[in-house]
Homo-oligomer: A and B are copies of this chain.
């Protein structure tokens, strides 16, 4: 029994190492640079070993994608829970969740890239319906609907609004991540200013 447990753990450890390495390569060099060989080099195993744990390269990336999805959704959901615990209204909840979106991206640039920037067509087999981005979208849409009912924001098509909010958040995040413009100063300020401005535009 112990034996089995140890084995399983070891198994998982290498699996972990593999996707950690993939994640790091992804972060530092982009998708094109994630190669089985480089992963193998990084974890100091032979390339063949990776094929023990993943059936091919796509499977590695898919795992990364799924993991990112889960973390992303968890981060959003957690902020929602906190907001509700604090008794925030729908509009303020939307704002704090928006903040959580951007924070997630900044804290997990590699995941954010995988999820929303790199166009991983090859891995599209991951069901969009189950994906964090889809669920996150629904969460956003739901929040907007409630905010409308509460009268915090203007009436309108919540679907359209959700796409609009998402655009703003995505732009904010991806510029922060990939374009450290020389004039970049206070990122925090930019984040709150942008979110505030946008939601002010939505307020009645």
A-side residues, CB < 8 A to B, are: 30-32, 116-117, 119, 128, 137, 156, 159-161, 163-164, 166-176, 178-179, 181-186, 189-190, 193-194, 196-202
Q: How far is the CB of A154 from chain B (nearest CB, A)?
A: 9
A186: chain B residues within 8 A (beta carbon): 160
Copies of chain A in the complex? 4
Chain B residue numbers with a CB within 8 Å of A164 are 172, 190, 193-194, 197
Residue of B nearest to A178 (CB): B119
Smallest CB separation, A151 vs chain B (Å): 17
Q: List 13 A-B contacts (CB under 8 A).
A: A31-B32, A117-B117, A117-B174, A119-B178, A128-B182, A159-B185, A160-B189, A164-B194, A166-B175, A167-B190, A196-B201, A197-B202, A201-B201
A26 to chain B minimum Cβ distance, whole angstroms, is: 12
